[in-house]
Amino acid sequence: MSKGKHEVAMLGGGCFWCTEAAFDELRGVEKVEPGYAGGSVPNPTYKQVCSGSTGHAEVVQVSFDPDAITYRDLLDVFFTVHDPTTLNRQGADVGTQYRSVVFYHDEEQKHAAEEAIEVLEASKVWNDPIVTEVSPAPTFFPAEEYHRDYYRRNPGQGYCQVVITPKLAKLRKAHFERLKDNDAGDRPTGEGQVRPYQTEPRNPIDQGGIAE
């Protein structure tokens, strides 16, 4: 979806703390907002979504400048920082709210998503079939304020250290040229060993002392 020179993408790849932190690193991304989409309940709360009863996915709404980064670039990053082959699950986070999903705003975005998936499947990057849902964008409901900029504000929290930091290390290594701060130092090499699966689930009730 285009807003003047800017466009908007809506993507779900598990915990939105992870995807928000990843997309916020990219040059050309103006704003990343965590929220909920794809369910049956208007204005859902975090607790409701975590119960799995509303049908919503945790997503991020990404506003970006297509002259600086394309929608396809965003998809490349999206498929780097989450596992699109696990149905309704990302590591230890299990439930339909953690499903892999691309919510497209127009036919161009739909085609780009389908093409990206076809390329990945043909290249055998993943051993298992990709289960990413590709659906028309529904209403986006912004998440509660305490979820916003979660990684930036809570880098020492257990889930952030165990799950998000390794994802960002993988992003920085694979997409160094797209980072906002890629002129600040040398290209990353082997630092930040990336775990294939997270080992600490996110507690839906108490997040490092934050409860709703």
Kindly list the catalytic residues: 15
SS3 of 7, please? strand
CA–CA gap between residue 192 and residue 141 (Å, rounded): 33
**Which residues in 72-108 are b (16+ Cβ under 10 Å) and which e?**
ebbbbbbbbbbbbbbeebbbebebbbbbbbbbbbeee
Continuous segment of H or E residues that includes residue 76: helix 71-80
Which tokens is 60 given?
A: 């991020």
Q: Determine how many CB atoms are found less than 10 A away from the CB of residue 162.
A: 16
Continuous segment of H or E residues that includes residue 71: helix 71-80
Which tokens is 31 given?
A: 């704003």
The upper half-sphere exposure of residue 212, i.e. CA atoms within 13 Å in the direction of its Cβ, equals 16
Region of 125 on the Ramachandran plot (φ > 0 left; ψ -120 to 50 alpha; else beta): alpha
